[in-house]
Structure formats: C-alpha cells, structure tokens
Amino acid sequence: MENFKVRFVPLGGVVGVTKNMYVYELYQGDVLQDILLVDCGIGFPQEKELGVDFVIPDISYLVDKVDKIRGLLLTHGHEDHIGAVPYLYDKLGKPQIFTSKLTAMFVANKVKEFAISPDITVVQYGKDYSFGGFQARFIPVTHSIPDTMHILIKTPAGSFYHGPDYKLDLTPPYGSPPDFYEIVKAGKDGLLCVMSDALGAERDGLTLSESIVGQTFEDEMRKTKGKFIMTTFSSNISRIRQCCEAAIKFNRSIIFLGRSMRENTRLSSEIGYLPIPESLMGKEEDAARLPPNKICLIVAGSQGQYDSALYKIARKQNKNIRIKSGDKVIFSSDPIPGNENEVYALIEELSLQGAEVIYSDIQEQLHASGHGSREDLKFLMRFTHPKYLLPIGGNIRHQREYQKLAVDLGYSKENVLLLNEGETMWFMKNDAEAGETVETKNIYVDAYGVGDVGNVVLRDRKTLSSEGMVVALIIVDGRGAMVARPRILSRGFVFEKNEDALYEDAAKLIEKTIRPNTERILDMTALKRETAKILENFFYEARGRRPLVVVDTIEV
Amino acid sequence: MENFKVRFVPLGGVVGVTKNMYVYELYQGDVLQDILLVDCGIGFPQEKELGVDFVIPDISYLVDKVDKIRGLLLTHGHEDHIGAVPYLYDKLGKPQIFTSKLTAMFVANKVKEFAISPDITVVQYGKDYSFGGFQARFIPVTHSIPDTMHILIKTPAGSFYHGPDYKLDLTPPYGSPPDFYEIVKAGKDGLLCVMSDALGAERDGLTLSESIVGQTFEDEMRKTKGKFIMTTFSSNISRIRQCCEAAIKFNRSIIFLGRSMRENTRLSSEIGYLPIPESLMGKEEDAARLPPNKICLIVAGSQGQYDSALYKIARKQNKNIRIKSGDKVIFSSDPIPGNENEVYALIEELSLQGAEVIYSDIQEQLHASGHGSREDLKFLMRFTHPKYLLPIGGNIRHQREYQKLAVDLGYSKENVLLLNEGETMWFMKNDAEAGETVETKNIYVDAYGVGDVGNVVLRDRKTLSSEGMVVALIIVDGRGAMVARPRILSRGFVFEKNEDALYEDAAKLIEKTIRPNTERILDMTALKRETAKILENFFYEARGRRPLVVVDTIEV
C-alpha cells in the first residue's frame, strides 16, 4: 500500500518563461489519487507582435481527470501566473483557488467580465493545508509584486519546494523579507526536488533590493521642474508605491493612466497596499490645469505598447497631457527582449518633445529585477539542498546556466532536471525518472477570441512583420472594366515616398496584365490571384524582397 | 529568583579588529554565577613597526573571579582569536577549552614551547554544551580557515549569537557551507543580541567564494614556465590546499617555506585537511636541483615581513632559491593597511629579478576576503533578527557602517550597540543597558618577553620610524682621549651618500665640543648626553628634523 509516486507535468512556463502552469499528480500504484495545480498564467509568445495578445496553457491533458483536481494554488499576481484563470477555470472543474491577499484581489477582479465566480481562499502562513494526499504550506518570499509565495508540497512520495519567481530581497520596501526559517526548515526536513525560478541564472551577484529604486525616484523628482512621469509594469505595486511616496513628499498630485494601471492601483489601495492621501489623488483632466511641478503621472506602456497611455502621450494624442521642456520621464523597467525598438522609439519621441528621459542604460538603480541572480539562486539551493533541482520560469539557456550553478555547488548534472514543456518526471521515494511526454499546443488568444487564430494567420503576420505589405487596388466600374490606374499602397516594405517610380512601374504592369485580356473582368478571384503573383515576382526582382501582396478590386 | 542578567565585556577585538576576547558573565540578582569566555587572541597594534610583535588582552578584570570561569570557547584558529592562549591560559585558572578540530590542533601546537597543557575538547555540532548557567551550541560557518564556528549562547536572561569572522561562502572549496538551519533556528527561537563580524561593512555585495581562487591558481600555473611561488597567510589552509591541488595537477613538487607555513601545513596534513602525495612533498634543498617547472613554492611573508621566507628570496638571501625569468610569484592576500610599502617593495624587488608578479591590483580573484561584505552581514541580520546587534571585529568606522546597514533593515540606531574596548553592556530579559567601563591597557609582547616594552621604548621607536636615527661614535684611547675623527652613521634620516658635507660638519662640531674641554674625557655619560644635545640642535637647524641621536664611545 506504500507504493506512492508523484508525476510532475509542466503545461507551460518551464522553458517559455511565461505561461506558467504546473501539475502535480499523486499516484498510489498506478491509480491516480489527487491532482494539485500550481499557477495558471498566460504566455507572451514570440508571435506577439503579430497581433496575438497572448497564449494560454493547453489543458487537454487534464480534461478527463478534472474530478481529481483538489486545488489550484497561485503563487503571485503576475499575468503569467494568473492570467489564464478566466479562460480555464470552468474547464478545470472550478477548483478551489488558494492564494495570497493581493493575488486573490487581482483574480477576483479579472474574472468579473467573464461571468465566473471562483471560490478563492486567502491562505495563512505557517499552516498546513490538505489537498487529498497533498499537504501544502505557503512561504512568503520577495519578488516585484507584494504577496509572492513559494509552496512546500508534502506528499507520501516525498516533498517538493515549488519556488517560482523570487529574489532574496533583504530590504523589501513593503512587506516582510523572505521567511528564511520556513525555507531552511523545508530543506532540513528533507526535500526530493526544488522547482526554482531560473530566469536570472545568467546574471552575476545578488539582485538589487527593490528599495534601491525608491531613493532614485526621490532624487530624480527633487531635480524635476516640470511634470514627473514614471512608467513601469502595472503589476509592480511596490515600485508604484515608492513613486507615490516620493510624490507625496514633494506634494505632487498622483495621476494613474492606462487601464491596467488604474485597475491594479485601485485594487491595491483597497487592501491598504497603496496609501495615498485623498488630496493628492489626481485625475487625467487635472493634468491640464495643475502646475507642472505639482504633477506625478504614473503611466502604463513601459514596453512601448501600441496605443498604451504612454504611447498616446508621446504621439501627442492625449489632449490633457503635452510633453514640455522640464518634464522628466522615467522608465522604471527594462525592455523585454523583442520590445527594444518600440521602447527606444518612444524614448526618442519623448526626448524630441523636450522631456528628459531617464532609462536604465543611462541610469542604474532605476529598475531592480524581480528575479534572483546567480547568488540568490545558489542561496536557495543551499537553503533547501534537495536531491533534485528543476529550473522553471526561464528558457533553455537559463536552465543550462542554472544547471552549471548547481554543478558548482556539487550537484551532479543528472540531478538537475531540465524539462521541456510537456515533458514529465516521475518522483518516488528518493528517486526520479523521466515520464511520457504530454502533448501541448499553443492556444492563442487575441482581442477577438480564444483559439481562433490559426497557423495561416500567423504565417501572414510573420511575413508582414519581416517583409511588409503591398496592397494593389484595381478600380473597376459596374461592368467590371478597369476605369482608372490601379492604386498601390505599401507599409513596411520600401519607403513609399522615395519609390514613386517603382510603384508607377507596378501599376503599369497591372494595367498591362489586365487590359490585353478583356475589357470586362469576369473571374475576379482568378484575376486577383494572378495579379498578386505577378506583383510578387516584380517586387522580388526589383528589390529582392517578398512582401505580402494583397490585391483587391473596388467598384466605382 | 528569576532575576537573571548577563554582562558582556569586550576585552579586545571590538574596535581594534584583532585581539579578540569577550567575556559573558551571568548574574542572578547581583551575584555573579558563571563566566564564559570567547576567544583569546593577540592583537597587531599600530606600534607593530616599532618592534612590538603583538599585544595580548588585559585580563586584570578577571583576575579575582577566575573561579567563576566555566570555559573558554575558541571560534577559529586565527592568531587574533587564539594567539594569546599560551600567555593567559594559566592566569585564567586553566579553564577547559572548547573548539573545533583544526583550532584544537593549532592551540595544542602553540602551547608546546610554553610548557602548559590545556584541557581541550573538540566540540560536536548540533549539540548543547553546559557551562554553569550558560548553554552553548556550536554552528559551523565559513571563513578563510577551515573549522570556523559561530556560537549560540543561551542563558536564563536571553540568548546571544556570537558571530565573529565569517563570510557566507556557498561553495567553500572544502568543508560544508554555513549551517543555515542552525542559524535561522537560533533566530526563530528568539535572540536578544547578535555579536557580528563587521569588518566588511564598507564593501558592497557579497564576498567572493574562497573557491574562486582555486581556478585562478590553476590558470596561472598553466601559463608558468618557471617556478611557481605563492604567498599568503600561513593560516589560510583552504587557499594553500587549492594551490597544492593545482600543483598536483601539474605535477609540481610542493615546498613550504617559513616556520609558520611549515607548522600549519604539517598540522593540517595530520588531520587530513591537506592531502599531498608523498612523491610531491618537496624540501627547500630540492628547489636547487628540480627543473623550475616542477616546483611550486608556498611561502610565508605575504605582508613583506622583514626576514620572512619571501623577503629572503627577494633579497637573494636564500641560496637554494634564486628568482629567474619565467618564474611567477602570486600574492594571494592583500596588504594589511600599514604594510603597503613593504609589500610593494617586495613586488618591485621580485620583478627586477625577472619574476612575473601577480597581485590583486592587477588581477582580481587572487584573494577573496575571509570576511563577509554588506550583503553577507545583512543576511545574518535577517537570518537571526535579534532585538539588538553588536558589531565586533572591526574598527569604529566599520561599526558605524554596520549600524547603517542595520538601520536600512529597519533597526533603530539605539538597538545597534557600538562599544569601545572595555565598555560593557548589561542584558536582561528583552532589554539592554550600558554598564560600567572596564579599564584595559595594551600588554605588549615582543621577541624578548611579555610586558617589558615600556612607553619610553615605544616613544624611541616612534621617533625612529618617523625621523630616523644618527649614531655618533667617539673613538678614545685607553686614557679616554679622543684619538680619531668621530664616526657618524645614520639610518632613515637623510640619505648619507649625498650628505658628506653635513656629516663632516657634524664630526667637526663634536671635535670642537670635546677638544677644548680636556684631553682626557672623565665623565663619559655627561659627555655623551651633551654631545647628543649639540648634535640634535645641529641637525634640527641644518635640516629641520629631529632624528634620534645616539652617542657612544669606542675605546681602541
């Protein structure tokens, strides 16, 4: 009867950084007893610039065993750990959710517009919770959002320390430092495997404390004669609070801009995590009438996102807020790899309008990563000293670097388990072996729905992003006869203004193609296809590129 | 009956870095019950260049209560923690000594020539030891010598964590990392005060792991065609072992030079801390016959000490070892403040003879401090989170920096207790207040004895060191008549070779002073005194300096 084992199934997060979702299954013999889920986040795939907003975990694997799910534990309130709850909660059989205070608040708010009402328990620390054969104990740690937790998961087959996103912040600006006693005690009592954040495994040293940034805000605000504008991730409540505290000190009205920024700060205020005196709570309209040195704007859009609050300010689309000389814009977050162009374009734009723009390339201590660096990661290994280590929340490069660190600490390579998404591990008393791989696919979500973006669409978007697009419009009359010179537009291909001749030639080519055939165009579809093919070849010969060519007809 | 309190008395170490010795006294009401001593080290005072070898703690305060001493606990084997044992052991009433394996070995060896035989117990970890009303628990930590410990001292008046010299080395080359569980458990159970190493409080970040240095040795040895010569503190057994391991890899014979180096390595070998194959154990004489690329010399004298093994090599006084082009000398220790001149002179000398000299100014990762930097110190604060903190083992500057760190972590300044030597604290349940100051003086030890170097001698040495010395020799015949021109020598005053005229004038002045008086010198003492006075004035007028002037007579 003692024949217990645990299967660990990463449905995401393990090599993709985001889309975190982990399945712990407890078996007795070959019989599945209980399932415990940890996190349920959205992912930001490489295709995100192609109009895919995000991806969610593929839970096909769980579909026929939702009755065994004993709980869904959420470690912290970042989108890549909780964002998929609205999409998957019902499909998972509406499991009870266990999480911390702020995270509970975020989740409850998130599901509102989805008409689902999850059962959420705010956990207490220093207490064991039972989930069938699993026992879980929540441990407060530090990250870039308050109320982040690690989870000690005890099972008859051994104990696991689930340790996603964290840094060892000894001086967090709010809340307590990591509970070192609980962490080390977990190690003392014996751990079979530690699943550890590995995202910072390429960075030397310890990650800076979040509180470093507060001093920087204060110093910069002191020197600012105009408006003070700070942008960061809207979930980084600690940082936002530090900026607010500086604003309060200098008696500046605080104005939050951007939907997520307003929502998150409102929720945090409600539970006392963001105390701002009523007199300094500003509205967007106030920005137009207050003296610039009485304004502190805290704005979404730090990644240069199209149409974000900061983007609109930079593009002069916000009528209440115009950048003037003397204003200062602080980017308190680094560009996520892939977003550099958008961010630097924004910086350029803001600078041109007279703002002094401060970002981490020119000023250190503006942004402290929320993820531990090598020394943080090594400390956790030493604190917990499990038999196995399993890096999560990074990519393959981070996994490998994490493995090297573990080897430096005396682990054998084999005891550092590097899994791809869907690859599983069996854990039994004091041992681990690879299990069958679970098939997963990306479920795309965009503004229009879940899963309706297929591969064809993505391929087009891919082309668009790398080669640009040419649109040829053929203008016909009611009888289908071409009545004007075809109109050619392009975006992202070659710069139109300098290429009049090229487009002129293309238009002539279309005329030449169509005219000789017939006065009356009968098969519009065939015509479009043929014209597109001719244009594709033309542009390739002329410029060596293959833009996406779209041909359409307009009847006048 | 519950009226317990503890008096903490630092007899040294608290602001002087070295000469560590701490007294814990347990009182019930006003009645002293038990005394527990921690460490008993020598000090290296500022006057060391004046011929004082070292100082030892002044134990006058303890003299009339040695019967209450229940034990002497030694935290690690460095001289500034154990070096005074031979001088003070008997005077302390021969208390039982409790310490770790290597430290026990060092102490036992040290006392041999003093004809005392202390009772030494090698402690076990994870076990409570009773010393009257005190209970002590030894906790392994990491430093630059193996077997370093911290001590949890439990009393009816509260618990203390005595945490001298340490760094949080997660990858010590030998031995285990700090026992984090014991440390955080001590904090969890509640601590009234933590006495913490503060020496690294000015350095940012975490201190490098000792194991970094091993890789550097290997890299440097690989590139060395001639002799490989490494110098460091002879107590830094971990580092010496790493150098030996590199030598073994490259099949070089290992030759230890210098008394302390030979002694310490022999003792460490005996307990298995320094395994070297018999075939590679070399002797000094072997250096003359082995090919240079088969030699690894590990040499005392890293501080440029006069007459040390390295000093002799640099000054070509070692007939077996001559520096040649292709040799490499590695200084794997930084100059202790005050020793820079000697060290750089040695580097210069060795370079002139053709050696490539590597030291930390030109190559990082040659020397990792044994003491924790700011982040190490903050970790210990967070691990133990006592009510009070008390920095030890630094100077006043380090104490202040340590206090700042504690304030960053939320301590109030008042709860960080900054003591001078002899200043005491009373601790009672959950509270601390300053006690009466205990008078201490420096007890000087030099090659000739303990305590026989008085203030006059020190003043002379001081003058010598800053102004130099002039010796005038008056040559007289058997009748006391001056029979030759007085001979004048000087050192450290003005450079003799360029000052022939000056010394010539001085000699003439002596002749003029003596001749007119009498053919026969009767009162030699008066003559010497008078001549000295005249010369002092002469040199002061001529050069504006006051060298120490010594006049003596030689009878021919």
| A149-172: average pLDDT | 97
pLDDT at A518: 53
A78 to chain B nearest CA, in Å? 26
State whether residue B505 is helix, strand or coil.
helix
Both structure tokens of B370: 């044994």
Q: Tell which residue, B385, B433, B427, B418, has the closest CA to residue B201.
A: B418
Give the integer Cα–Cα distance in Å for A487 and A431.
69
Lowest-confidence pick of A189-193, A478-482, B190-194: A478-482
Confidence of residue A389 (pLDDT cuts 50, 70, 90): very high
Asked if A171 and B375 come within 8 Å (Cβ–Cβ), the reply is no
Give the integer Cα–Cα distance in Å for A247 and B327.
62
Q: For B354-398, what is each residue's pLDDT tens digit? A: 899 988 766 666 678 889 999 999 999 999 999 999 999 988 889
pLDDT at A475: 76
Lowest-confidence pick of A178-187, A220-229, B169-178, B463-472: B463-472
Q: Annotated catalytic residue: which of B76, B162, B371, B398?
A: B371
Structural domains present in chain B: 4-205+369-447 (3.60.15.10), 211-358 (3.40.50.10710), 454-555 (3.10.20.580)
Q: Where do the DSSP E strands lie in A58-157?
A: 69-73, 97-99, 120-122, 128-131, 134-141, 148-155
Residues of A in contact with B210 (CB under 8 A): none
pLDDT at A468: 67
Q: Percentage helix, strand, coil, to 5, in chain B?
A: 35, 25, 40
Asked if B206 and A375 come within 8 Å (Cβ–Cβ), the reply is yes
Q: Annotated catalytic residue: which of B197, B327, B376, B398?
A: B197
How much is the CA Rg of chain B, to the nearest whole Å?
27
Task: Please state, for a pLDDT cut of 90, what percent of chain B lies above it.
Answer: 57
Give the integer Cα–Cα distance in Å for B188 and B41.
31
For A186, nearest residue in chain B (alpha carbons): B181
Residues of A in contact with B382 (CB under 8 A): 170, 177, 180
- In the DSSP assignment, the letter for residue A142 is B
For A187, nearest residue in chain B (alpha carbons): B181
Task: Please state, for a pLDDT cut of 90, what percent of chain A lies above it.
Answer: 57
- In the DSSP assignment, the letter for residue A542 is H
Confidence of residue B147 (pLDDT cuts 50, 70, 90): very high
pLDDT at B447: 45
Confidence of residue A456 (pLDDT cuts 50, 70, 90): very low
Asked if A378 and B170 come within 8 Å (Cβ–Cβ), the reply is yes
Q: Does the pLDDT of residue B46 top 70, yes or no? A: no
Q: Tell which residue, B399, B542, B354, B473, has the closest CA to residue B16.
A: B399
Q: Which of B375, B383, B408 sits opposite A206 (nearest CB)?
A: B375
B70 to chain A nearest CA, in Å? 32
pLDDT at A521: 57
Give the integer Cα–Cα distance in Å for B291 and B307.
26
Residue B505: active-site member: no
Asked if B378 and A170 come within 8 Å (Cβ–Cβ), the reply is yes
Asked if B185 and A181 come within 8 Å (Cβ–Cβ), the reply is yes
Residues of B in contact with A378 (CB under 8 A): 170-171
Q: Does the pLDDT of residue A5 top 90, yes or no? A: yes
pLDDT at A446: 58
Q: Tell which residue, B384, B333, B374, has the closest CA to residue B178.
A: B384
Lowest-confidence pick of A295-309, B79-93, B522-536: B522-536
B207 to chain A nearest CA, in Å? 10
Residues of B in contact with A373 (CB under 8 A): none
Confidence of residue A519 (pLDDT cuts 50, 70, 90): low
Q: Tell which residue, A36, A32, A22, has the closest CA to residue A70.
A: A36
Confidence of residue A496 (pLDDT cuts 50, 70, 90): low
Residue A80: active-site member: no
For B187, nearest residue in chain A (alpha carbons): A181
A206 to chain B nearest CA, in Å? 7
For the whole model, what pTM was predicted? 0.76
Phi-psi region of B478 (alpha: psi -120 to 50; beta: other; left: phi over 0): alpha
Q: Does the pLDDT of residue A59 top 90, yes or no? A: yes
Collect all residues from A whose CB is shorter than 8 A from any CB in B.
Answer: 170-171, 177, 180-181, 184-185, 187-188, 205-206, 211, 375, 378-379, 381-383, 408-410
Q: For A88-138, what is each residue's pLDDT tens digit? A: 999 999 999 999 999 999 999 888 878 888 999 999 999 999 999 999 999
Q: Which of A180, A187, A408 sits opposite B382 (nearest CB)?
A: A180
CA dist B273 → A117, A529, B244, B254, B526 (Å): 64, 81, 12, 16, 62
Q: Are A416 and A407 in contact (CB under 8 A)?
A: yes
| H or E stretch covering A55 | strand A54-56
Does B550 or A458 have the greater pLDDT score? B550
Averaged pLDDT score across all residues of chain A: 87
pLDDT at B519: 53
B267 to chain A nearest CA, in Å? 27
ipTM: 0.71
Lowest-confidence pick of A191-200, A543-552, B60-69, B243-252: A543-552
Interface test with A, best of B139, B170, B375 (most A CBs within 10 A): B170
pLDDT at A495: 56
pLDDT at B522: 58
B300 to chain A nearest CA, in Å? 30
Averaged pLDDT score across all residues of chain B: 87
Highest mean pLDDT among A291-300, A450-459, B459-468: A291-300
Give the integer Cα–Cα distance in Å for A319 and A321.
6
Asked if B382 and A184 come within 8 Å (Cβ–Cβ), the reply is no
Give the integer Cα–Cα distance in Å for B118 and B257.
29
Q: Are B373 and B206 in contact (CB under 8 A)?
A: yes
Q: Which of A184, A205, A408 sits opposite B184 (nearest CB)?
A: A184
A211 to chain B nearest CA, in Å? 10
Residues of A in contact with B187 (CB under 8 A): 180-181
| A537-554: average pLDDT | 77
pLDDT at B44: 74
Residues of A in contact with B383 (CB under 8 A): 180
pLDDT at A470: 74
Task: Please state, for a pLDDT cut of 70, what percent of chain B lies above it.
Answer: 88
Q: Are B12 and B41 in contact (CB under 8 A)?
A: yes
Asked if A409 and B383 come within 8 Å (Cβ–Cβ), the reply is no
Q: Does the pLDDT of residue B454 top 50, yes or no? A: no
Residues of A in contact with B408 (CB under 8 A): 171, 211
Confidence of residue B329 (pLDDT cuts 50, 70, 90): very high
Q: Are B14 and B420 in contact (CB under 8 A)?
A: yes
Q: Does the pLDDT of residue B456 top 50, yes or no? A: no
Asked if A184 and B180 come within 8 Å (Cβ–Cβ), the reply is yes
Q: For B344-359, what is each residue's pLDDT tens digit? A: 889 988 988 989 998 8
Q: For A238-275, what is each residue's pLDDT tens digit? A: 899 999 999 999 999 999 999 889 989 999 999 899 99
Asked if A382 and B177 come within 8 Å (Cβ–Cβ), the reply is yes
Residues of A in contact with B185 (CB under 8 A): 181, 184-185
| B236-257: average pLDDT | 94
Q: Annotated catalytic residue: which of A78, A143, A162, A371?
A: A371
Q: Does the pLDDT of residue B138 top 50, yes or no? A: yes
pLDDT at B452: 42
Q: CA A504, A508, A509 angle in degrees (round to 5)?
A: 115
| B447-452: average pLDDT | 46
| H or E stretch covering B311 | helix B309-314
3-state SS record for B8-51: EEEEECCCCCCCCEEEEEEEECCEEEEEEEECCCCECCHHHHHC
Confidence of residue B47 (pLDDT cuts 50, 70, 90): very low
